[in-house]
């Protein structure tokens, strides 16, 4: 761990995280695979190091450095590239899986859901956005004024939101993180879904399935109207 942290600190001092430095980090991690707790610690350390070095002049570099440093930590285990998992509610399993994928995202998060009113999920999206992850949300206009809806808050934080303003419903419930992890299923992103409802989500990294959902998101993003 100390060797990785030393490399991270060295790479930010000259404000260049070169390809060779990234390869070196990946090599170290490949030789001594890290568990989830260690990876989470290193991700926190990346933001701590960046916060110590950031200035108005180097802000753009720091954001890029954070993305590249996190990317260097992503060493998939054997068989993980096409793996799938399922989760069920009531209970916290579905919500936790969604938040974990949001927290793990490095570059982008594409969300396409009927409604969002779970404050824990919304806060995770806001945090990701503030870290420099590009967050896009497509949702249904009929749910915007529901009690507890977080869409206005998310848009107010600067997150790009588009809505279905047709007489029909945009009823999808899926998210793609970094073009590699897909979450989909019946689970509504609401507090009641976690507490009371019998719901499910599928988390998959099967590349063909992920690409199909990305294509659908792209089509909807073109068709839907910006949230004002």
pLDDT score of 32: 60
Domain-located, residue 78: no
Cα gap 11→22, rounded to integer Å: 9
Tell me: do 145 and 173 sit in the same domain: yes
Tell me: do 97 and 189 sit in the same domain: yes
pLDDT score of 78: 40
CATH of residue 143's domain is 3.30.870.10
Tell me: do 55 and 92 sit in the same domain: no
Tell me: do 174 and 151 sit in the same domain: yes
pLDDT score of 29: 65
The boundaries of the domain holding residue 170 are 84-226
pLDDT score of 161: 96
What domain count does the chain have?
2
Tell me: do 63 and 100 sit in the same domain: no
- Positions annotated as catalytic residues are 171, 173, 178
Divide the 228 residues of the chain into consecutive groups of 10 and give the mean pLDDT of each group.
80 74 68 70 88 88 85 58 82 93 93 95 96 95 82 95 90 95 95 92 92 96 92
Tell me: do 139 and 119 sit in the same domain: yes
pLDDT score of 80: 47
Domain-located, residue 77: no
Q: 216: exposed, middle or buried (C-beta count within 10 Å: 0-12, 13-18, 19+)?
A: middle
How many CB atoms neighbour CB 202 within 10 A?
A: 18
Q: Write the DSSP symbol of residue 189.
A: B
pLDDT score of 30: 61
Tell me: do 126 and 21 sit in the same domain: no
pLDDT score of 28: 66
Final residue of a structural domain among 72, 99, 115: 72
Domain-located, residue 46: yes
Tell me: do 26 and 94 sit in the same domain: no
Q: Write the DSSP symbol of residue 107.
A: S
Residues ≥6 apart with Cβ < 8 Å to 133? 105, 106, 107, 108, 109
């Amino acid at each position: 761990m100390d060797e990785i942290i030393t490399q991270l600190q060295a790479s930010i001092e000259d404000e260049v995280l070169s390809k060779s430095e990234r390869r070196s980090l990946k090599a170290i991690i490949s030789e001594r695979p890290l568990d989830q707790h260690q990876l989470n610690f290193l991700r926190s350390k990346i933001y701590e190091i960046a916060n110590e070095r950031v200035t108005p002049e180097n802000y753009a570099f720091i954001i890029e450095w954070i993305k590249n440093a996190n990317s260097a930590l992503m060493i998939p285990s054997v068989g993980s590239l096409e793996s799938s998992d399922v989760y069920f509610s009531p209970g916290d399993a579905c919500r936790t899986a969604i938040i974990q994928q949001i927290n793990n995202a490095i570059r982008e998060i594409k969300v396409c859901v009927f409604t969002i009113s779970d404050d824990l999920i919304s806060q995770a999206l806001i945090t990701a956005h503030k870290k420099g992850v590009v967050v896009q949300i497509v949702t249904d206009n009929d749910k915007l004024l529901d009690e507890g809806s977080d869409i206005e808050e998310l848009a107010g934080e600067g997150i790009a939101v588009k809505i279905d303003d047709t007489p029909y419903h945009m009823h999808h419930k899926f998210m793609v993180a970094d073009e590699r992890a897909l979450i989909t299923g019946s689970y509504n992103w609401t507090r009641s879904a976690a507490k009371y409802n019998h719901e499910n989500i599928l988390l998959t990294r099967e590349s063909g399935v992920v690409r199909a959902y990305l294509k659908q998101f792209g089509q909807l993003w073109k068709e839907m109207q910006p949230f004002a």
